[in-house]
Chain A
Amino acid sequence: MTDFTAEVQGVTKRYGETEAVRGVDLTLAPGECVAMVGHNGAGKSSLIKLMLGLTTPTEGRIRVLGGDPASAACSHIRRQIGFLPENVAFHPNMTGRETLDFYARLKGAPRRGNDALFEKVGLEPAAIKRRVSTYSKGMRQRLALAQSLLGGPKLLFLDEPTTGLDPALRQSFYAIVAELRDQGTTILLCSHALTELEGQADRVVVMNRGRKVADGSLATLRSLAQLPVRIRLTLPTDDIDALAARVGEGAALTRLAGGVVELACANDDKVGLVRRITCDGPTVADIEIVQPSLDEMYAHFLRREAAE
């Protein structure tokens, strides 16, 4: 007996000749927000479809909320799952309200909560009465989010949820995600927009060509990747040689535009290097420390995978 919301064990999925998912192990715990990143065709959507029971694995075993999601008796499992598909589409001739009513009835969720849901995702009462065909991409995405939250799911799959959303809406979107996670909902989030996942996800899973290449918290992945930290200095003078002498061998120095100099060094050397520069070196007008972003780590893991 496990406490995991979802468990994927050695799962492989083949579509004819192509292998969409190759030997993936993955566990999702309650109250956890996991980000899954990878290129198009890395197997993210295929993995979600497998966990939804839309397709069955060629090899391996999947258990979601204590049962097989593709079995005949999966209705009670699906009732507790929310799903926001990539490129969501609705029936264009129904209004927003009718659409949500329809999905609520299918899910057996009380329709009383629909107004609260509309408010939560920020769909105006005037918009709810209009047909979905008149909706903008952002409004459609809000409606999609609303349907995924129907019935208070225990497990939420969000496939590219923020494509087409403006920055303000992204903020409110992640606020909703954080609130759900605090209530104990397990969330699996797929995205290309890696930068916006920082600070949102408890764990990051990197997928490449159907394989899981990395899995861990952002800090764990950082130390695994051993990518250099970059220190950006704005110098009032052009005295780069003096700076270079002080920096020494430990860091690589490059000149950027606008009188900015960038030093790249290992994470462990960071503190010592800053001390050497600021205490008794040439005057520095500004200093900025840039941690390797999720994008860079992602690129790193893909390079490592390609090298193997």
Chain B
Amino acid sequence: MNTLLIVAGKELREATRNRWVVATTLLMAALALTLSFLGSIPTGTVGVGPVEVTIVSLSSLTIFLLPLIALLLSFDAVVGEIDRGTMTLLLSYPVARWQLLLGKFLGHAAVIALATVVGYGAAGVALAMGNTAIGPESWRAFASMIGSSVMLGAAFTALGYLASTIVRDRGTAAGIAVAVWLGFVLLYDMALLGILASGSGLGVEALNWLLLANPADAYRLFNLTGFKGVSAFAGTAGLAAHVQLSVPLLLAVMAGWIAAPLALAAALFSRKQI
């Protein structure tokens, strides 16, 4: 346990030095603030709170942005250290390989968590200082959005680690990271839409499973259908009625998307010849 924290702490400190933390946090805060200000303009008579508007727009943006940041941060984690020669030295220390991998992951996940919580939290503060009264239900939805965003980031960080462990050179790892992003974030939904539109008679059951097979979709469903106020505005109320995926199930799936790639990466890493 101690070793994990030592490795994670070092990773976090390095990320701070690299300005990764600062840059990511600023980016997140800038986007979140812009969206929350935009979101608070047209409301008032529509009956939708500014928080709900912000959640819909922000979570839609998060799906594109956060996986990209997470993958950029993590694709180099293992293969880069092997390439630079720091890995050989690290492994000659009394550290198990899984400890090293998990420790580094915790450090990177902490970077994502920090950036998301501070960045989106800033938007929350801005909303709270606005004129409109905001109910506790809205705040719960907002907090859930931040929490699930951290999970989404962690899931793609884990996928980045897997890419970084499988291959032998950094270029390939970067390529895989881009492919993962394109596949899960852009192409997957298009393909799904295509299948549905072609009228292939895909059942609701099958659709549910296909949505769970993608962490980005699990995140989208969690945020857009999990809370009534949000789903009414997001235009997904109809979908929410049909999709029989409960909130705990969606959370469990996202947790699985963190644990499974990480476990696979750890297994591969411990067999890897350095």
Contact = CB atoms under 8 A, between A and B. Distances in A.
B85 A91 contact: no
Interface string B68-96: 00000000000000001110111111111
A79 B94 contact: yes
B140 interface: no
B3 A83 contact: no
B88 A85 contact: yes
A155 B202 CA distance: 65
B94 A88 contact: no
B interface: dominant SS: helix
Contacts of A74: 94
A93 B94 contact: no
B45 interface: no
Nearest to B6: A105
Nearest to A15: B273
Contact of B84 (A52, A89, A103, A107): A89
A54 B91 contact: yes
Contact of A106 (B88, B95, B273): B95
Interface in B35-87: 84-86
B88 A94 contact: no
Contact of B93 (A55, A72, A93, A103): A103
A21 to B, nearest CB: 13
B165 to A, nearest CB: 16
A94 B10 contact: yes
A78 B3 CA distance: 14
Interface string A63-100: 00000000010111011010101011111011000100
B274 A78 contact: no
B13 A108 contact: no
A102 interface: yes
Q: Most B CB atoms within 10 A — which of A85, A90, A106?
A: A106
B88 A54 contact: yes
A37 B85 CA distance: 22
Interface residues of B, number: 22
B18 interface: yes
Interface string A269-299: 0000000000000000000000000000000
B92 to A, nearest CB: 4
Given A76-B94, A103-B93, A98 B85 contact: no
B85 A93 contact: no
Contact of B3 (A49, A94, A106, A131): A106
A15 B168 CA distance: 14
Interface string B246-274: 00000000000000000000000000011
A72 B93 CA distance: 13
A108 B94 contact: yes
Contacts of A147: 89
Interface of A: 15, 49, 52, 54-55, 72, 74-76, 78-79, 81, 83, 85, 87-91, 93-94, 98, 102-103, 105-108, 131, 147
Give 5 closest A-B pairs by Cβ, nearest first.
A93-B17, A75-B94, A89-B85, A78-B94, A83-B92
Interface of B: 3, 6-7, 10, 13-14, 17-18, 84-86, 88-96, 273-274
20 contacts: A49-B88, A49-B274, A54-B274, A74-B94, A75-B96, A78-B94, A83-B89, A85-B85, A85-B88, A85-B89, A89-B84, A93-B17, A94-B17, A102-B10, A106-B3, A106-B6, A106-B90, A107-B94, A131-B17, A147-B89
Given A89-B84, A131-B17, 14 more contacts: A15-B273, A49-B88, A54-B274, A72-B96, A75-B94, A78-B94, A79-B94, A85-B88, A91-B10, A91-B86, A93-B14, A94-B10, A106-B7, A108-B94
